[in-house]
Chains A and B, each alone.
Chain A
């Protein structure tokens, strides 16, 4: 049971957080949080695996937990900075 909870949290971090950030950047002026979060999540589900696959090919490795965490964290950080920049700009 603990393993399932851990995995759900991991997945939430991997998919929901970058998803939310992507969507916030795209639609940060729109007041539709459900749609915003869903678009970002869906984009993460669809686009993130392709990015992982290409990075794995470039690094001559396979798709593993460490790679997923590293790539997702990097994407999250970059997106967070873009969001910060955009929000400041709009303010």
Chain B
């Protein structure tokens, strides 16, 4: 008995040690791309520390002094503008205290903690229903060390979103729920990722389905959410002139943002995003991506997790529906509205693809239930035949997608006219491209996405802790930073 416990603790320590080292060593450093710059900059400004914004040639762009108070520190219309640009402020707020105490190292610490804590809370959530330690630890590793997530090496609001979602799911799925705390966390999630609003139906459903004092718990949940979303609404009011304004819709932000005509049945409207069918007149895809977003999400997940785990997800849904209907519907309600919302969004990018992290947790929970179910069953020949036929059907469907052709969205080149220009924005590697899409590249992507691998894809990255610790020591000494004003090169003429 004691011997088994020692093995468990050792495995636990090894898995979490690997997760820690992977995240600590993988982190590239703050403000090296677009999204992370607009998390890093406001986090630093919140502590009254200025940043030297520079052009791509390293020349200082602005001369300013901070007023020394919030929220005024975060807006200077004559120079850097609204500091968070079109990003949400929530993630920057989470990083600010870490920068205050650890300087630049603070960003690496919280990036690492987000990975470790996500794995831990996933593990704890799975332990609520599974007595099999091996399944829980495997799933905790799967959510934080999978092929897709290992490609993220910069600050990303969706990584913070995944962390908050993991804690939320644990609190919601445990027997003793604190609705005030769930509300507080939900408010923080809404501040970091506005799409958190799509989790509202799921939370309300489980509250109404499980609570014995519905009105009291609902009031506690709403109070908690208001407490933590209120500062964000005040910020929106200050920066964008409307508490409910989505930053991307603000006319206060400089840059070229044309609107396009959309329709929904007989309702016509103009919108500065690029929506897909049925809100647009035909089915299109974002240039550089072989498929529309509604196919990109499942294909990337299938590539990352493979046919086997995908089948486990379906088995888990069926099993959970039979045994714990409320929890199954709750997790489906968590996943489906947000997936449907993104399904009609084009104007896509690799960064935006990371939104899938927000609904990764329910899928991992389903897969774990599926695995649990399979391990509890004694297989008959007909079961094996049925599972094999599902696998074949899934492989056939994926292979069929290879032949699907979609037109590139013509609006995209109107939205980003500089893309086809001289290539002067070539250094923005993670959000925009420098040349028109290439047919060979698209074909390569198609082949890669429709490989239909049976087992999860593996991404191996080197973990050089000596180098990472050297970087960390340097970051700990570093408070001043020069940051390329990425925004200028994306949106300004």
Contact = CB atoms under 8 A, between A and B. Distances in A.
B202 interface: no
> What secondary structure prevails in chain A residues at the interface with B?
helix
Interface in A58-81: 60-65, 68
Given A42-B117, A53-B231, A64 B48 contact: yes
A56 B70 contact: yes
A48 interface: yes
A68 B234 contact: no
Nearest to A46: B188
Contacts of A39: 167, 170-171
A91 interface: no
A38 B124 contact: yes
A2 interface: no
A18 to B, nearest CB: 13
B97 A14 contact: yes
A53 B47 contact: no
Given A35-B124, A62-B47, A62-B48, A48 B167 contact: no
A3 B187 CA distance: 35
A61 to B, nearest CB: 6
Contacts of A38: 117, 120-121, 124
Given A46-B163, A50-B188, A50-B228, A60 B69 contact: yes
B171 A47 contact: no
B97 A43 contact: no
29 contacts: A4-B476, A7-B101, A10-B101, A26-B176, A38-B124, A39-B167, A39-B170, A42-B163, A42-B167, A43-B167, A43-B181, A45-B110, A46-B185, A46-B188, A47-B188, A48-B97, A49-B93, A49-B96, A50-B90, A50-B187, A54-B231, A57-B234, A61-B68, A61-B69, A62-B48, A62-B68, A63-B100, A64-B48, A68-B100
Interface of B: 46-48, 68-71, 73, 90, 93-97, 100-102, 110, 113, 117, 120-121, 124, 163-164, 167, 170-171, 176, 178, 181, 184-185, 187-188, 191, 228, 230-231, 234-235, 476
